[in-house]
Amino acid sequence: MGSSIVQRMATPDPSLDPSRDPRTLTAEEWRQLLTPEEFAILRQSATERPYTGRYNDDPGPGAFHCVGCGNRLYGAEHKFHSGCGWPSFFQAVVPGALEVHRDSSHGMVRTEMRCARCGGHLGHIFDDGPRPTGMRHCVNGYAVLHVPAGSDVAPVFAAHRRARPS
């Protein structure tokens, strides 16, 4: 996805300058915005241990946004219980919300997904999901933030950033 798309997307996270492409943030700037767990996952492609992240249970109606930049990734209606230990979705909320790449790390070949806006690592996609897509987007819970239906995005992100441990 080109930078022109990135610049046209609204920035719901009040911590980010809407005129700046989040891909240009330095590691130190990301560390100031994210918790240690979020930084390790989004910026260093780490994976949380199964059943230790956020949103294994259903948080209710709403949308899931990239915790790094606020890009809307998934609707709660796309979430399903896969039993794998990570939040799972059968499709992204809009085409182009994700970038996918071949990942041959750890002695296996998988499809990695990243946020199309900030490039943050989200998890992997597998072909063992439910209908209608047959896909399972296995997402690190610390890579996303749930915004309840009817809530404004910016205040949810502001509260999350304020709660961040120093």
**CATH code of the domain in which 82 resides:** 2.170.150.20
Higher pLDDT, 102 or 165: 102
CB atoms within 10 A of CB 40: 17
What average pLDDT does this structure show over 33-42?
95
Give the pLDDT score at 161. Answer: 85
Domain count, the chain: 1
Among 69, 115, 118, 138, the active-site one is 138
**Backbone φ and ψ of 131, nearest 5°:** -70, 150
Is a pLDDT exceeding 70 seen at residue 30?
yes
**Report field, pTM of the whole predicted structure over 0.85:** yes
Cβ(117)–Cβ(46) below 8 Å? no
Both tokens assigned to 89 = 């979705």
Active-site residue, 84 included? no
How far apart are the C-alpha atoms of 16 and 22, rounded to whole Å?
Answer: 8
Give the pLDDT score at 90. Answer: 96
Q: Is the dihedral of CA 141, 143, 147, 149 positive or negative?
A: negative
Residue type at 94? Answer: V
| Tens-place pLDDT, residues 66-100 | 999 999 999 999 999 999 999 999 999 988 999 99
Range of the domain at 33: 3-162
